[in-house]
């Protein structure tokens, strides 16, 4: 399963949504997961991951099985200097076990032009960065996701779900989670819980099956 994620903030709380789907060409989700997170960290310019990473970990902790790949609304690397973004921090919070693809709708200053993915008839690209898999493969995968518009159908679905613009018709898990200000992201309980799931089932996440070119399917990308 692949997992698309998004979060919507209300003052100091967040509604975090996840959509599980079978493969890159899927047009329908298999399951939707929603987590209400309270007491989220304040927004810090240039440090967005401090706010959203704990929310994503809370969402992941509700999954029965680890996904093969995680899509985040944002960047893995930021700008020409390739500074670590949300996706990079998530990947390392999960011990580098699950590939992460960042799909950003807004341009970040200095973002390399090679990251741009044009879909449908839109003249505005998505900006795709990745870690744990080849970025060219990630861009190709986002380009062929289901939907005729700039934003793939399932990414629009998770965006609307997090913003409460639609009621989930699928099997949905909803849970309220309380977080505390973080002194260390990696000591947060949800990071430990999800890491325990990975370690207890080391074969649950094939490194890159279905994500890489044929020549590299059996190894890390």
Question: Terminus-to-terminus CA distance in the chain, angstroms?
Answer: 18
Q: Which CATH superfamily is domain 2-216 in?
A: archaeoglobus fulgidus dsm 4304 superfamily (3.30.2170.10)
Contacts of 113 (CB under 8 A, 6+ apart): none
Q: In whole angstroms, what is the distance from residue 214 CA to residue 158 CA?
A: 29
Would you say the pTM of this structure is higher than 0.85?
no
pLDDT in tens, 158-215: 999 999 876 555 555 555 454 443 333 333 444 555 555 555 554 444 444 344 433 3
Exposure class string for 36-48: b at 16+ Cβ within 10 A, else e: bbeebbeeeeeeb
pLDDT in tens, 95-130: 999 999 999 999 999 999 999 999 999 999 999 999
């Amino acid at each position: 399963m692949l997992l698309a994620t998004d979060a919507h903030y209300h003052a100091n709380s967040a509604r975090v949504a996840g959509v599980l789907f079978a493969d890159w060409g899927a047009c329908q989700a298999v399951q939707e997961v929603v987590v209400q997170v309270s007491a989220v960290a304040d927004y810090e310019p240039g440090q967005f991951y401090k706010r959203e990473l704990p929310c994503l970990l809370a969402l992941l902790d509700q999954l029965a099985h680890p996904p093969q790949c995680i899509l985040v609304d944002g960047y893995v690397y930021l700008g020409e200097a390739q500074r670590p973004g949300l996706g990079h921090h998530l990947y390392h919070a999960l011990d580098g076990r699950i590939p992460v693809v960042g799909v950003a709708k807004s341009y970040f200053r200095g973002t390399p032009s090679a990251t741009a993915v044009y879909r449908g008839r839109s003249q505005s690209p998505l900006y795709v960065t990745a870690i744990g898999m080849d970025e060219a493969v990630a861009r190709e995968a986002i380009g062929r996701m289901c939907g005729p518009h700039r934003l793939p159908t399932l990414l629009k679905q998770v965006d609307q779900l997090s913003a409460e613009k639609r009621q989930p018709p699928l099997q949905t898990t909803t849970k309220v989670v309380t977080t505390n200000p973080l002194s260390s992201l990696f000591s947060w309980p949800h990071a430990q819980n999800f890491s325990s799931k990975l370690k207890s089932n080391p074969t649950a996440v094939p490194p890159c099956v279905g994500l890489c070119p044929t020549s590299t399917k059996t190894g890390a990308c």
